[in-house]
Structure 1
Amino acid sequence: MKRDAFLRAVRRYCRKNGLYYDWQPGEGKGSHGTVYVGGRKTTVPDKDLPRFYIDDLLEQLGLGSDAV
């Protein structure tokens, strides 16, 4: 899954569940950016994301695997 598809899915999940969502592409080194969900944040690289990495990102954001 590409980063943009991951972010779209998380944004859609947040809208549906009334959660705060913010994407800051400039907050990170190189091609990384920071996504905020509720009171949590994580850094997302600009590359293909394997499933195990997506699961880790969702865990850091406090979301279940059904978010993507």
Structure 2
Amino acid sequence: MNGREFVARTRKLARRNGIPVRFDRTRGKGSHGTLYYGDRHTVVKDRRKPLKTGTLLGMCKQLGIDPSDL
């Protein structure tokens, strides 16, 4: 899964659960951006490159979501 897929799947999950979500490109350096999920947030790396397993699990943990829900 790459960063763009992660953002899309998180938005879909948020829609199902009625949680506000937004992605802010300006809140990051270079190709990074910040994904806000309710009152939580995480930094998404380059949205074109694949995410490593540990990075993906860490981002899910920061947002408080179960990786299997994606």
TM-score, normalisation: structure 2? 0.89
Q: CA deviation at 1:67?
A: 2.8
Which of residues 45, 49, 52 is equivalent to 1:50? 52
Root mean square deviation of aligned Cα: 1.0
Alignment length, in residue pairs? 68
SS in 1 for 2:28: coil
Contact in 2 for aligned 1:10/1:67 (Cα 8 Å) = no
TM-aligned CA deviation for residue 66 of structure 1: 2.2
Contact 1:31 1:45 in 2 (8 A): yes
- 1:36 paired residue number: 36
CA distance in 1 between partners of 2:66 and 2:38 (Å): 14
Cα distance in 2 for residues equivalent to 1:33 and 1:54:
15
- Listed as ranges, the gaps of 5+ residues in structure 2 are none
SS of the counterpart of 2:31?
coil
1:62 is aligned with what amino acid?
G
Alpha-carbon shift at residue 43 of structure 1 (Å): 0.6
Aligned identity (percent) is 35
Unaligned runs of 5+ in 1: none
